Structure 1
Amino acid sequence: MELYTRRDNVTLEIHVWHNIMHYMCTCTEGFAFDRRSRQCIDVDECRTLPEPCFGAMGCVNQNGGYLCLPRNLYNRQYRQDTPAVPDQVYQDPSAGFSDTFLPAVPGGGGGRGAVEPSYPRVRTTAQCILGYTLAEDGTCNDIDECETNSHHCNPTQVCINTSGGYTCSCTEGYWLIGGQCQDIDECRYGYCQQLCANVPGSYSCSCNPGFILNPDSRTCQDVDECEDEPCSHGCFNTYGSFMCNCDEGFELAADGTTCIDLDECSFSEFLCQHRCVNTPGSFSCICPPGYYVFEDGRSCEDVNECDTGNNTCTTAQVCFNFQGGYTCLDPLQCRPPYIEVSDNQCMCSAENPACRDKPFTILYRHMDLSSGRSVPADIFQMQATTRYPGAFYIFQIKSGNDGREFYMRQTSNVSATLVLSRPIKGPKQVVLDLEMVTVNNVINFRGSSIIRLTIFVSEHPF
């Protein structure tokens, strides 16, 4: 006959969740947690398991387990002359105790009475179930395994006595893993809002810089650093820190709290059209002589000395203004054989033999040009004012274009444009003779006129 018995202890697990510690009691195999009594009660495996025993074995429920006994123990018929069967003892290696199971014999010790029940009679040294002991008054009292030190709890565990058994548990801050009480790492479960230091059986919370620990010793509260006025200008409190800001024209120093003057002039050479002067918290633009600062505070505008009267020209001279300055033009004096026909034109008559092969007229014009002006640029236009039937016109630069900075582009039969092809740096004065050649093959005529163009190139590119 084979006998199997199983009895396990109750374990207690502590599950720690974020911000809230939940306690969940679970029972080992053979027990189930009863919510009403809040304790572990025995599970009747013979009723709950579909096939707790195999073959010819029958199931007998026990506290914390069950027994599998041969079914013929329940059905064996005993005769009066059935010899006595020796006691058969089966030891549960996990329980640490022994029970003696005897097959049933006829009632009355060999009399001729009725047949005994088919289940076996169990005779033990104690007439109580496992975990209890027989008292003098015949009652069964619970055995306190914790007090008698008859438990099998690990040295790291705490023994808790229960009715008919005991539980191996762990102290607060520990949980049972693999039969050993191991420290619960509360920091792993985010029990602290910010910083957490795990210690055996407990934990300690702290806060990042810029926060202080609340009275609950878990959460952190922001510190308003601006109350202590750490910034030299403005302060803005942030979550866990603060930020300093500076007034316009200043920048934050490396220490993050003081403000130093911002040198706006170092940002770009184009901040001012001429020259930038840094000032505390700002900047100002200045212009060279002959200019004034425009309304935008950055551009330079030419001062027209001829209009303002702030010039040194005599009444006999003509004041000519150009970018950044002016010049006084003397009255026109035509060189012979030319004669003056207007304030700015000299003519050489065709009837004068000395005028042969000379331009018929010389017209004087003046213009200004900014230094370094971008190219190409159309700067002057020349056009025939008198037209003759059958004539055509040729426009060209006769003199003054030694540096090849200019060329003529004919725009129509009677007009052309002077084009600046290379930048010219000033201050400089350029005199060009722009010639218009008139050709009439019908009457076999060829003549020319000159525009003497004086260009005043400014010192600055504005």
Structure 2
Amino acid sequence: FLEYVCVTDVDECATDSHQCNPTQICINTEGGYTCSCTDGYWLLEGQCLDIDECRYGYCQQLCANVPGSYSCTCNPGFTLNEDGRSCQDVNECATENPCVQTCVNTYGSFICRCDPGYELEDDGVHCSDMDECSFSEFLCQHECVNQPGTYFCSCPPGYILLDDNRSCQDINECEHGNHTCNLQQTCYNLQGGFKCIDPIRCEEPYLRISDNRCMCPAENPGCRDQPFTILYRDMDVVSGRSVPADIFQMQATTRYPGAYYIFQIKSGNEGREFYMRVRGDGHRL
């Protein structure tokens, strides 16, 4: 006949009859047991040694090994993802926006930029006004006026700013009628202003024969040693021309043979800016 014997497995781990060392854990098996290590450790020559997860690149950026485990952190400008290992860029411009004017996000950081007319300060965050007028003296024909973020050109009284926003043009008050001369006076335009010229007055013994000419009659004994005629001329002297330069020419005529002519600058030459010279043909300038 057959004889059946019932065998019951002995749990060596529960009865503490195993031979695992204190660093190991006992795992019961059918008819025996095995010694193993917990997560984060590996078995070497009967001992459970800590696994250095940082050595094997478990973390994307910063890794700190601890017994049986590890922890990942991220560099400044990044945040740790939910997987606990990878890092994601932080958009500082969308969160705190540390820039005074314009913020540009970069991978792991940010840069600040300034609006036109401003320049970035040494702290990389603040913007200060750029004084364009200090860069060049040729930005404006007359005067450069700096303003926050920009500049503009101004002209002296009597001038207007042209469409190029830098050049100045004289206002012809006589032509536009915005002068204060009366009907008897003649308006004479000047650079940046005007002058009212009174009608000429011929002093005795001269007689006025036109708007700009006085004549001394030959039959008048008082005219014997006086010039026959005095002619008044108003002239425009354009600014910006090279000097010295010939402005006008005076020439004696041959109408009266034997007569002699004297040319003088009688007034307006206090600073000795003008002089007369004789041309090669005998004419005077």
Partner of 1:111: none
Partner of 2:155: 287
Q: Determine helix, strand or coil for the equivalent of 1:306.
A: helix
Partner of 2:25: none
* Root mean square deviation of aligned Cα: 5.1
Counting only pairs closer than 5 Å after superposition, residues 376-455 of structure 1 correspond to structure 2 as: 376-378=243-245, 380-384=247-251, 386-387=253-254, 397-400=264-267, 401-409=269-277, 413=281
Is contact 1:323–1:369 with CA below 8 Å preserved after alignment?
no
**Offset at residue 348 of structure 1 (A):** 3.5
Per-residue CA deviation, residues 143-197 of structure 1 (Å, 9 max, x unaligned), is: xxxxxxxxxxxxxxxxx9xxxxxxxxxxx99xxxxxxxxxxxx9xxxxxx9999x
Q: Quickly say closer, same or farther: Cα 1:330–1:212, change in 2 above 3 A.
A: same
Q: Determine helix, strand or coil for the equivalent of 2:151.
A: strand
In structure 1, what is the Cα distance between the partners aligned to 2:196 and 2:237? 17
Q: Quickly say closer, same or farther: Cα 1:206–1:397, change in 2 above 3 A.
A: farther
**Offset at residue 259 of structure 1 (A):** 3.0
1:258 is aligned, of 96, 111, 126, to 126
Counting only pairs closer than 5 Å after superposition, residues 147-226 of structure 1 correspond to structure 2 as: 224-226=91-93
Is contact 2:160–2:168 with CA below 8 Å preserved after alignment?
yes
Is contact 1:213–1:221 with CA below 8 Å preserved after alignment?
yes
Is 1:363 the equivalent of 2:223?
Answer: no
**Offset at residue 288 of structure 1 (A):** 3.3
In structure 2, what is the Cα distance between the partners aligned to 1:263 and 1:208? 39
Q: Quickly say closer, same or farther: Cα 1:308–1:398, change in 2 above 3 A.
A: closer
Q: Normalising by the residue count of structure 2, what TM-score does the alignment of the two structures yield?
A: 0.56
Is contact 1:346–1:363 with CA below 8 Å preserved after alignment?
yes
Q: Quickly say closer, same or farther: Cα 1:238–1:317, change in 2 above 3 A.
A: same
**Offset at residue 212 of structure 1 (A):** 7.3
Q: Quickly say closer, same or farther: Cα 1:226–1:383, change in 2 above 3 A.
A: same
The letter for the 2-side match of 1:334 is: C
Per-residue CA deviation, residues 91-111 of structure 1 (Å, 9 max, x unaligned), is: xxxxxxxxxxxxxxxxxxxxx
**Offset at residue 411 of structure 1 (A):** 5.8
Q: Quickly say closer, same or farther: Cα 1:253–1:388, change in 2 above 3 A.
A: same
Is contact 1:277–1:284 with CA below 8 Å preserved after alignment?
yes
In structure 1, what is the Cα distance between the partners aligned to 2:128 and 2:79? 32
In structure 1, what is the Cα distance between the partners aligned to 2:264 and 2:108? 77
The letter for the 1-side match of 2:197 is: L
Q: Quickly say closer, same or farther: Cα 1:257–1:309, change in 2 above 3 A.
A: same
Quick one: higher RCO (CA 8 Å, sep 6+), 1 or 2?
1
**Offset at residue 306 of structure 1 (A):** 1.3
The letter for the 2-side match of 1:347 is: M
Q: Quickly say closer, same or farther: Cα 1:338–1:324, change in 2 above 3 A.
A: same
**Offset at residue 322 of structure 1 (A):** 0.9
Partner of 1:309: 177
Is contact 1:319–1:329 with CA below 8 Å preserved after alignment?
yes
In structure 2, what is the Cα distance between the partners aligned to 1:370 and 1:194? 75
In structure 1, what is the Cα distance between the partners aligned to 2:244 and 2:89? 66
Per-residue CA deviation, residues 242-291 of structure 1 (Å, 9 max, x unaligned), is: 33222223333443223344444444555444444444433333333322
Q: Determine helix, strand or coil for the equivalent of 1:406.
A: coil
**Offset at residue 414 of structure 1 (A):** 7.1
In structure 2, what is the Cα distance between the partners aligned to 1:411 and 1:239? 81
Q: Quickly say closer, same or farther: Cα 1:254–1:342, change in 2 above 3 A.
A: same
Is contact 1:395–1:408 with CA below 8 Å preserved after alignment?
no
In structure 2, what is the Cα distance between the partners aligned to 1:321 and 1:347? 28
More strand per residue: 1
Q: List runs of 5+ in structure 1 lacking aligned partners.
A: 1-159, 161-171, 174-185, 187-192, 197-204, 416-435, 438-462
Counting only pairs closer than 5 Å after superposition, residues 116-135 of structure 1 correspond to structure 2 as: none
Q: Quickly say closer, same or farther: Cα 1:344–1:389, change in 2 above 3 A.
A: closer
In structure 2, what is the Cα distance between the partners aligned to 1:362 and 1:332? 11
Partner of 2:188: 320
Partner of 1:343: 211
Q: List runs of 5+ in structure 2 lacking aligned partners.
A: 1-44, 46-50, 64-71
The letter for the 2-side match of 1:300 is: C
Per-residue CA deviation, residues 37-80 of structure 1 (Å, 9 max, x unaligned), is: xxxxxxxxxxxxxxxxxxxxxxxxxxxxxxxxxxxxxxxxxxxx
Q: Quickly say closer, same or farther: Cα 1:212–1:303, change in 2 above 3 A.
A: same
In structure 1, what is the Cα distance between the partners aligned to 2:282 and 2:75? 86
Is 1:228 the equivalent of 2:95?
Answer: yes
